[in-house]
A = this chain, B = another copy of it.
Amino acid sequence: MRDTKHQQLLSKLLEMVSVHKKDLFSQIIKNRSRHLTVVMEDIFQSQNASAVLRSADCFGIQDVHIIENRNEYTLNPQVSLGSSKWLSLYKYNSEKNNTQVAYENLRKKGYQIVATTPHLNDVSLNELDISKKTALVFGTEMQGLSTYAIENADIHMKIPMYGFTESFNISVSAALCMHFLSEKMRNSNENDWQLSDSEQNEILLSWAKSVVKSSNEIERKILGI
């Protein structure tokens, strides 16, 4: 949390949130994490992108990075069920190689970058070491990840498969990775996977703002902006 005024704003807004919602907020925030994050590169079908957001929320993954080199991302409200308002979304769409910008940003934040592809494999999902902060990168339905995304990743990972079908739908493969790795993270004593108090308060503030109708007005009053 940046300062006392923001803390005041959070307290004020939380007073206006129902008890049920406030309980939900404090239960969910404890399970939120930035230890794992998800990156979507040029996901074409909005239905799939929205399903990935829904899964991220379900597994407590707070940050989702959206790279748009070719496909403009639009939400499908029926599929995401409003989950995007509970997540922190980072969009990369203003440069020529937005994947490069996203990778540099993630590396600065200390993430190892894991490209998910059925064609190359340094490790399988079951073996991936997540003692470091880990960003999971998923590519388009048709072409998979870009050459840049593959060549510049730290690790290539695949989900073990035993049948004739050689790939999963993107929303399924993202959900499988998030489910397996977030369970592993929660059950491990090694990782410091929870958010700091300051991060928790920042996110609680954004949640409170999204449910209190008059939040803009209150924000202007308290912050004097």
Contact surface of A with B, Cβ cutoff 8 Å: 24, 28, 31-32, 51, 54-60, 79, 81-83, 86, 126, 159-165, 168-169, 171-172, 175-176, 179-180, 182-183
Chain A facing B: main interface SS: helix
* Pairwise interchain contact A163-B28, C-beta atoms closer than 8 A: yes
* Pairwise interchain contact A162-B60, C-beta atoms closer than 8 A: yes
Give the docked Cα–Cα distance between A159 and B182 (Å): 13
Q: How far is the CB of A82 from chain B (nearest CB, A)?
A: 8
For A179, list chain B residues within 8 Å (CB).
Answer: 159, 176, 179-180
Give the docked Cα–Cα distance between A159 and B183 (Å): 11
Contacts beyond the supplied A86-B164, A175-B176: 5 A-B pairs with Cβ under 8 Å: A51-B169, A54-B169, A58-B162, A175-B175, A180-B180
Of A159, A162, A171, A183, the most chain B CB neighbours within 10 A belong to A162
* Pairwise interchain contact B126-A163, C-beta atoms closer than 8 A: no
For A55, list chain B residues within 8 Å (CB).
Answer: 168, 172
* Pairwise interchain contact A163-B83, C-beta atoms closer than 8 A: yes
